[in-house]
Structure 1
Amino acid sequence: MTIAEVSKKFGLSPDTLRYYERIGLIPRVNRNESGILDYTEEDCKWIEFIKCMRSAGVQVETLIEYITLLQQGDETIEARKQILMEQREKLLSRIEEMKRALERLNFKIEEYETKLIPAENKLKRLAHNI
C-alpha cells in the first residue's frame, strides 16, 4: 500500500506515518522499485497498534520504550506487561474522570431543561391570552 492509501485507511497524515517510522514506532517501511514507500499488512498491524495505544492516551515515549523492549525478545516480557498494566490503570482513571464529567454535563443539561419548560409554558399562556 502507498503512504496515501495507509494515510486514508488509518486517518493519519503522511507526515505522522513518516514520523512514526523515523522514531521507531513502526519498523522501516520498504520501498518499491520506484522508491515509493510500500506498506505491508505487517506494517499496517503496527500502525493499527500504535493508533489504538495513542487513542488510549499512551504517550509516544512510553510506546518507544515498549517497542524497544519488544525488539529485545522474550526476556523483556515482564517489563512489557508492566508497561501495559500501568497504561491500563491510567486509562481506567481517565474513564472514571470522563464518567464524572458526563454526569456533570447531564445534570447541567437537565437543569436547563427544567428551567426551559416552565418558561415555554409561560410563553404559551401569554400567547394564548393575546
Structure 2
Amino acid sequence: MSLTGTQTRYTISEVEALTGLSQHTLRWYERIGLMPHVDRSHSGQRRFSDTDLRWLSFVGKLRATGMSVADMVTYAELVREGEHTVDRRRELLERTRRDVRARIAELTDALAVLDFKIDLYTGKAARE
C-alpha cells in the first residue's frame, strides 16, 4: 500500500520483467484459474497488484517442488473458497512436502555417487 492508500498496479509487461514469466504464461495462469481475478484498466488491460506478485512468487515455489499444475489449480481454488478449506490445503502441501523430501533423498544419494566417481577419476579415492 502506498501512503495515499492506493496499491501499486503493474502492467503485464512489468510483471513479465519482474517475475520472468512470459505474458503467455501469465494469461494461461489466469485462464486455467491458477491466478485469482486480475483487475483490468478502463481499456481492458490487466493490472496486477502487489498481492498478485506475491501469489505468483508462491506459485513459483510450488512449481519448483514439482507440484502438478492440476494440484496448483486445486490449491488456488481452495484458497478462493475460504477458511473452511484450510485442512485440505494443508494436506495438499504436506503431501507435496513428502514428495520433495523423497526427491531430496534421491538426489543426495545420486550426488554421493557422483562425488565418489569424480574423486575416483581425480585420484582422490586411490590416495585415501
Do the structures match in fold with TM over 0.5?
yes
- How many pairs align? 117
Q: What is aligned with 2:14?
A: 5
Q: 1:91 Cα deviation (Å)?
A: 0.5
Aligned counterpart in structure 1 of residue 80 of structure 2, from 52, 65, 71: 71
Aligned counterpart in structure 2 of residue 61 of structure 1, from 48, 54, 70: 70
Comparing both structures, which one devotes a greater share of its residues to strand? 2
Q: Give 5+ residue unaligned stretches, structure 2.
A: 1-9
Letter of the structure 2 residue corresponding to residue 111 of structure 1: L
Q: What is aligned with 1:113?
A: 122
The two structures have a TM-score, normalised by structure 2, of 0.83
Question: C-alpha separation between the residues in 2 aligned to 1:75 and 1:89?
Answer: 23
Query: Is 2:29 the counterpart of 1:20?
Result: yes
Question: C-alpha separation between the residues in 2 aligned to 1:76 and 1:31?
Answer: 28
The two structures have a TM-score, normalised by structure 1, of 0.82
Aligned counterpart in structure 2 of residue 40 of structure 1, from 45, 49, 54: 49
Question: C-alpha separation between the residues in 2 aligned to 1:58 and 1:90?
Answer: 9
Q: 1:98 Cα deviation (Å)?
A: 1.0
Identity, % of aligned pairs?
A: 39
Q: 1:36 Cα deviation (Å)?
A: 2.1
Larger radius of gyration: 1
Q: What is aligned with 1:82?
A: 91
RMSD: 1.9
Q: What is aligned with 2:61?
A: 52
Of residues 77-86 and 64-73 in structure 1, the stretch that sits farther from structure 2 once superposed is 64-73
Question: C-alpha separation between the residues in 2 aligned to 1:106 and 1:10?
Answer: 34
Q: Give 5+ residue unaligned stretches, structure 1.
A: 116-130
Query: Is 2:110 the counterpart of 1:91?
Result: no
Comparing both structures, which one devotes a greater share of its residues to helix? 1
